[in-house]
A = this chain, B = another copy of it.
Amino acid sequence: MSLIVHKYGGTSMASTERIQNVAKRVAKWQRAGHQMVVVPSAMSGETNRLLGLAKEITDNPDPRELDQIAATGEQVSVGLLSLALHKQGVKAKSYTGWQVPVRTDSAFTKARIESIDDARVRQDLDNGYVVIVTGFQGIDPSGSITTLGRGGSDTSAVAVAAALGAEECLIYTDVDGVYTTDPRIVAEAKRLERVTFEEMLEMASLGSKVLQIRSVEFAGKYKLKTRVLSSLTDPDMNLAQEAQSGTLITYEEDEIMEQAVISGIAFNRDEAKITVAGVPDKPGIAYKILGPVAAANIDVDMIIQNASHDGMTDFSFTVHRNELKKALEVIQGKVQPEIQAREISSAADICKVSVVGIGMRSHVGIASQMFETLSKEGINIQMISTSEIKISVVIDDKYMELAVRALHKAFGLEA
């Protein structure tokens, strides 16, 4: 008998009919002898409805009150799922975040989990209950309700699973696993049976939307087996088959046999580029440029500084496209008077394409193969950034699909 955590997204909880399908699935797992904890999201659309009501009142809502309001969506879900399990003849009990309690800091609307008290949950499990815990929320030291931010139910599920020492956390969603790239762009994209946390982390940070990045960090930190699988299958499907479906995210590299060099191609269109050209290559120049940007609370992703040339260098970085205007104002208003750069330019019509793979560590030549592929397609590379298990390039936005397809093929990722 092992302890299993299931997480169901808003689409799986969208109607009382679907909630009853979730209950059937959970009941099947319990009857197979597992101790079950379930973390459901709010019914799809509900969180938006609640935030919409707040927005009707004010554009600048107090975050504590926003959390008070938004947390109710999951509370309704846990109660309904508990009723649906009772109907399946299964003992079940629901808990809100504060009832567990899931303790967080006080960063309303984007709180971080600090600890989870497992006493009540464990007692109920020992008494044969399926325990249902709200995702997305907790309680801060002053007793206020906090939410973890959008997508926080994934993080809740992984955190609860880690706190309970669960055997595995199964994240049921509307895709059937993690793919080598987005199947909407590359029809031949292949589902990965396994992927490492490090790769998943890179993919999430590079734009893959399968899992929220913080949930992957959590799973990695606690070395928790996490599986992404489909909630759209028949709830009565064979359990052994279901338990092997989807994509397992694992923390042990050697669990992945015959590791492919590259696991996937990620991409995103959310960024914009700023280049500060012709600045004196002196110590402190990076800080002079990025200090004021950070002070304005603008997140910077890629940062590139080219080798200097006649004592001058070019400095480029990317920010979220929504923050380009604000970042440019900082650079032109505060930075330029200080550093007297020759030229400041920017571009929003860029995209970032990345190849990710843990196998890259022990293989040379991945970068050159990537650059060669893009070159063959006539795609100019504007920026390059590498980490131990990924290479990202910034290219012209209009070539994104072309680049993703070409790289997917070049690295032999087709199904």
Contacts of A16 in B (CB 8 A): 53, 56-57
Interface locus among A94-102, A256-264, A342-350: A94-102
Partner of A86, one of B62, B76, B94, B143: B62
A80 within 8 A of B: yes
Asked whether A19 lies within 8 Å of B69 as measured between CB atoms, the reply is no
CB distance from A71 to the nearest CB of B (A): 8
A83 within 8 A of B: yes
A54 in contact with B80 (CB, 8 Å): yes
In the complex, which residue of chain B has the Cβ closest to the Cβ of A78?
B68
Complex alpha-carbon distance, A68 and B98, angstroms: 13
A87-B57 contact in complex given A65-B79, A69-B75, C-beta closer than 8 Å: yes
Known: A76-B69, A98-B98, A99-B143. A20 touches B57 (CB 8 A): yes
How many angstroms from the CA of A145 to the CA of B145 in the assembled complex? 14
**A72→B20 CA distance, assembly (Å):** 21
**A153 CB contacts on chain B under 8 angstroms:** none
Q: Smallest Cβ distance from A188 to chain B, in angstroms?
A: 42
Residues of B within 8 A of A143 (CB): 99, 120
CB of A96, distance to nearest CB on chain B (Å): 7
Cα(A40)–Cα(B57), bound, Å: 16
| Contact status A75-B68, CB under 8 Å | yes
CA distance A65 to B129 in the complex (A): 14
Q: A76–B50 Cα gap in the complex (Å)? A: 8
Residue of B nearest to A43 (CB): B53
List the B residue with the shortest CB-CB distance to A66.
Answer: B79
Give the copy number: 2
Closest chain B residue to A69, Cβ basis: B79
**Chain A contact residues: helix, strand, loop or mixed:** helix
Question: Which of the four size classes fits the interface of chain A?
Answer: 35 or more
CB-CB under 8 A for A61 and B75, given A68-B96, A143-B99: no
Tell whether, in the assembled complex, residue B83 and residue A61 are in contact, meaning their CB atoms are under 8 Å apart.
yes
- Does A201 interact with chain B (Cβ within 8 Å)? no
Q: A41: CB under 8 A from chain B? A: no
B80–A69 touching, CB < 8 Å: yes
Which residues of A pack against B, CB within 8 Å?
Answer: 16, 19-20, 50, 53-54, 56-58, 61-62, 64-66, 68-69, 71-72, 75-76, 78-80, 82-84, 86-87, 93-94, 96, 98-99, 120, 143-145
Neighbour of A83 across the interface among B58, B93, B96, B144, CB < 8 A: B58
| Complex contact B76–A72 (CB within 8 A) | yes
* Interface residue from B72, B82, B96, B99 paired with A62 (Cβ < 8 Å): B82
A65 and B94 within 8 A (CB): yes
Contact indicator A58/B86 (Cβ below 8 Å): yes
Give A18 Cβ to nearest chain B Cβ, in Å: 11
Q: A98-B98, A99-B143, A143-B99 are in contact. Are A68 and B57 (CB under 8 A)?
A: no
A392: shortest Cβ distance to chain B, in Å?
41
**Closest 5 interchain pairs by CB?**
A69-B79, A72-B72, A68-B79, A16-B56, A65-B79
How many Å lie between the Cα of A213 and that of B236 in the bound state?
49
| Additional 6 contacts, C-beta under 8 A, given A65-B79, A98-B98 | A54-B79, A54-B83, A69-B76, A71-B75, A72-B75, A72-B76
